[in-house]
């Protein structure tokens, strides 16, 4: 018998894979895992074809295709007034999750403390633990999930290395406000604390609110690794392409890890993305596109028995169900698949202590037909 010690003994398969598999088995409408069920732009697909046919099928540069990094720099400059140099401050990654993992791997030493806010996307804590870091969790509560900055200050110690933020937020659909930014600036001022800012839903923000990217604020940008995702931007989650931006000294460390982790990202996709980023409407129209879906889904569920939580950004709608059932949220989510054929994610999955507020998360990045059917079924609850 081989003796072996797991590096993540308590970790099972992530909730998105679990719920998607259950949805598939039951042939249910899958509003659990966050991904669009509609096609990306055909132009994007033909740009990839073209790139392949033109022979762009070997390794891309380790840091990403220069024309893509230039397009990212131009977009960031235009939207957030921030200048990131394509040569040494932007790296193309194999999706947001890889960028997050690499950022944590490049910065966290054993015993470094990292503050995360829960509910949190599920990849943050394991990555910190794998580096020997200590996860300092702060639980946020529904319905508004506001960050209590006085409490955050209490979590800061001489070991605090990083704070991880995510706006627009998965799963709660909240967005950082100006007041949060002010607090963050004062909290980190004259410290060595880094910020890892997961901004993969930056363009999916509703009701005319601006996305408060760390890039906009020089005091924060100087200590931030910003993570973005083309999967969310262009409905291509399966391509697994994203990027990370950081000041040169930090990006240098990021690249030291990136080169041994993925080395480089698929070449034809990068050619296509560099071209497609020139069409600004493709991403500037995203907020309106998803706001219509949000509004349809919310108004459809208004007469249901669920209580809708606010939704200011990202493509998730949370609902409260604990006045309907006393089941825990995982059990309720499974019952929902069996009884009405709709799959959701139980929000306790986003808390390390599995805190259960009786809330489910639905993804509304779905075609009209799917949303119509889902609403119809959910009204039967």
- Could you list the residues that contact ligand GLN (CB under 6 A)? 14, 16, 33-34, 170
Structure tokens at 147: 């960050």
- Closer of 14 and 177 to ligand GLN (Cβ): 14
Which residues lie below 8 Å from residue 348, measured CB to CB, with a gap of 6+? 328, 329, 330, 354, 355, 356, 357
The CA distance from 355 to 361, in Å, is 14
Least spacing, CB of residue 163 vs ligand GLN, in Å? 21
Residue 34 or 268 having the CB closest to ligand GLN: 34
Rounded CA-CA distance 320/357 in Å is: 8
Which CB sits closer to ligand GLN, 19 or 82? 19
Tokens of 91: 């790296």
Least gap, CB of 246 to ligand GLN (angstroms) = 22
CB of 170 to ligand GLN, least distance (A): 5
Cα gap 159→190, rounded to integer Å:
15
* Least distance CB 16 / ligand GLN (angstroms): 3
Helix (H, G, I), strand (E, B) or coil at 321: coil
* DSSP calls for 212-242: --GGG-HHHHTTEEEEEEHHHHHT-GGG--E
Q: How far apart are CA 72 and CA 230, in angstroms?
A: 11
Q: Cβ of residue 235: shortest distance to ligand GLN, in angstroms?
A: 13
Closer of 14 and 291 to ligand GLN (Cβ)? 14
Cβ(257)–Cβ(62) below 8 Å: no
Nearer to ligand GLN among residue 16 and residue 296 (C-beta): 16
Q: Which helix (H) or strand (E) segment is 116 a member of? A: strand 113-118
Smaller CB separation from ligand GLN, 98 or 266:
98
Identify the bridge partners of residue 245 per DSSP, sorted by sequence position. 90, 226
Q: Which is nearer to ligand GLN, 13 or 157 (CB)?
A: 13
Comparison of 14 and 209: residue with beta carbon closer to ligand GLN = 14
- Which residue sits closest to ligand GLN, CB atoms considered? 34
Q: Least distance from C-beta 19 to ligand GLN, angstroms?
A: 9
Distance separating alpha carbons of residues 8 and 22, to the nearest angstrom: 24
Which of residues 201 and 357 has its CB atom nearest to ligand GLN in the complex? 201
Minimum distance of ligand GLN from residue 59's CB (angstroms): 26
Task: Read off the DSSP letter of residue 304.
Answer: S
Task: Give dist(CA 217, CA 195) in Å, integer.
Answer: 12
For the CB of residue 232, give the shortest distance to ligand GLN in the complex, in Å.
Answer: 8
User: Distance between CA 158 and CA 141 in Å, rounded?
Assistant: 27
Least gap, CB of 70 to ligand GLN (angstroms):
27
We find the least distance from the C-beta atom of residue 120 to ligand GLN, in angstroms, to be 11
- Edge to edge, what strands does the sheet with 224-229 contain? 90-93, 242-245, 224-229, 194-198, 160-166, 113-118, 134-139
By C-beta, is 15 or 60 nearer to ligand GLN? Answer: 15
Per DSSP, the three-state class of 150 is helix
The number of CA neighbours under 13 Å toward the Cβ of 40 is 22
């Amino acid at each position: 018998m081989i003796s072996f010690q797991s590096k993540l003994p308590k970790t099972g398969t992530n909730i998105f894979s679990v719920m998607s598999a259950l949805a598939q088995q039951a042939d249910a409408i899958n509003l659990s895992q966050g991904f669009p069920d509609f096609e990306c732009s055909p132009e994007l697909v033909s740009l990839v074809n073209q790139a392949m046919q033109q022979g762009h099928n070997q390794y891309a540069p380790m840091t990403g295709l220069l024309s893509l990094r230039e397009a990212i720099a131009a977009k960031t400059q235009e939207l957030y007034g921030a200048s990131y140099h394509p040569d040494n401050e932007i790296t193309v990654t194999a999706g947001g999750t890889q960028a997050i993992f690499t950022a944590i791997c490049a910065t966290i030493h054993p015993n470094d403390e990292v503050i995360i806010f829960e509910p949190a996307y599920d990849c943050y804590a394991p990555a910190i633990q794998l580096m020997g870091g200590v996860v300092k969790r702060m639980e946020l509560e529904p319905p508004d999930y506001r960050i209590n900055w006085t409490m955050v200050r209490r979590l800061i110690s001489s070991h605090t290395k990083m704070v991880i933020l995510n706006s627009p937020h998965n799963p709660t659909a909240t967005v950082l406000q100006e007041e949060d930014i002010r607090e963050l600036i004062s909290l980190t001022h004259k410290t060595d604390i880094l910020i890892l800012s997961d901004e993969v839903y930056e363009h999916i923000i509703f009701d005319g609110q601006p996305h408060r990217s760390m890039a906009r604020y020089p005091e924060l940008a100087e200590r931030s690794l910003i993570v973005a995702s083309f999967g969310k931007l262009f409905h291509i989650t399966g391509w697994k392409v994203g990027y990370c931006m950081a000041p040169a000294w930090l990006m240098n460390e990021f690249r030291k890890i990136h080169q041994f982790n993925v080395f480089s990202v698929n070449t034809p996709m990068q050619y296509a993305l560099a071209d497609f980023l020139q069409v600004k409407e493709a991403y500037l129209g995203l907020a309106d596109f998803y706001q219509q879906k949000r509004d349809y889904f919310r108004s459809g569920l208004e007469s249901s028995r669920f209580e809708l939580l606010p939704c200011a950004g990202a493509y998730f709608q949370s609902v409260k169900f604990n006045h309907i059932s006393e089941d825990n949220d995982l059990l309720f989510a499974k019952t929902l698949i069996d009884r009405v054929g709709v799959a959701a994610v139980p929000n306790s999955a986003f808390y390390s202590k599995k805190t259960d507020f009786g809330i489910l998360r639905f993804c509304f990045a779905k075609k009209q037909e799917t949303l119509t059917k889902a609403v119809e079924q959910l009204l039967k609850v």
